[in-house]
């Protein structure tokens, strides 16, 4: 390209009205919100959340909801279960009787899974990690939630949560939500998602 010579004519730079620029940005933002809103509504519509919080549903109902075969839980009661972190941060006096943070996991569950004989309920709640370690944290929280009455007894008892863990370990990290049917088969991710759905 040739260098500009003196006397060549240049177009003046276009000036942008700041008011028009702001209005243009607002229009663009409104359009993007209009497009995104239906996606948010769609994602929220398959939740098991009730109007006051999570709903406790049996595993078979949760399996149907997650498979998209049902939009509403077949039955559900409001849940107020605490997360593993909620229990971990509670004082020992706030734990439901007969459980204590210092109880050994092996004394409350018959199958250790990934835990050692020296792990306590509190240490299991405090452990990081995914897969069966994550599930173990949520199982301990579910036992405490059931014992404290934060999950309806029609969904879980403390003994039922212990039995779920023990059966899961014996089955090789598998759970059958429609038992005695052998399908579907849940692994740690599905069982953990079900338990999390009962926690606030």
Give the DSSP letter string of the chain.
-PPPPTT---PPPPP--HHHHHHHHHHHHHHHHHHHHHHHHHHHHT--B-SSSBEE--HHHHHHHHHTS-SS-SS-EE--BPPHHHHHTS-GGGSPTT--TTSBHHHH-S--TT--TT-BHHHHHH---SHHHHHHHHHHHHHHHHHTTSS-TTT--HHHHHHHHHHHHHTTS-B-TTTTS--S-B-HHHHHHHHHTTB-
| Average pLDDT of the chain to the nearest whole number | 75
Q: Per residue in 147-187, pLDDT tens?
A: 999 988 888 899 999 999 999 999 999 988 777 777 788 88
Q: Give the confidence band of 112 by pLDDT, cuts at 50, 70, 90.
A: very high
Whether the pLDDT of residue 43 is over 60: the answer is no
**pLDDT range class, residue 50, cuts 50, 70, 90:** very low
Q: Quote the percentage of the chain above a pLDDT of 90.
A: 40
- Any idea which of 10-24, 121-135, 183-197 has the lowest mean pLDDT? 10-24
Q: How confident is the model at residue 40, as a pLDDT?
A: 31
Query: pLDDT digit string (tens) for 65-90?
Result: 554 433 444 445 677 899 999 999 99
Residue 101 predicted with pLDDT over 70: yes
């Amino acid at each position: 390209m040739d260098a500009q010579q003196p006397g060549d004519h240049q177009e003046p730079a276009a000036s942008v009205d700041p008011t028009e620029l702001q209005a243009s940005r607002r229009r663009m933002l409104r359009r993007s919100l209009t497009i995104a809103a239906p996606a948010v509504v769609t994602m929220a519509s398959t939740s098991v959340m009730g109007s006051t919080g999570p709903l406790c549903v049996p595993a078979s109902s949760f399996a149907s909801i997650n498979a998209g075969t049902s939009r509403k839980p077949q039955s559900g009661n409001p849940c107020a279960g605490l997360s593993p972190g909620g229990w971990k941060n509670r004082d020992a006096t706030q734990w439901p009787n007969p459980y204590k943070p210092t109880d050994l996991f092996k004394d409350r569950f018959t199958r250790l899974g990934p835990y050692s004989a020296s792990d306590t309920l509190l240490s299991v709640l405090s452990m990081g990690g995914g897969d069966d370690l994550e599930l173990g944290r949520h199982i301990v929280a579910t036992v405490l939630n059931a014992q404290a009455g934060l999950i309806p007894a029609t969904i879980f008892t403390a003994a039922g949560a212990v039995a779920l863990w023990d059966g899961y370990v014996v089955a090789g990290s598998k759970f059958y939500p429609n038992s005695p049917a052998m399908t579907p088969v849940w692994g740690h991710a599905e069982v953990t998602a079900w338990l999390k759905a009962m926690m606030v």
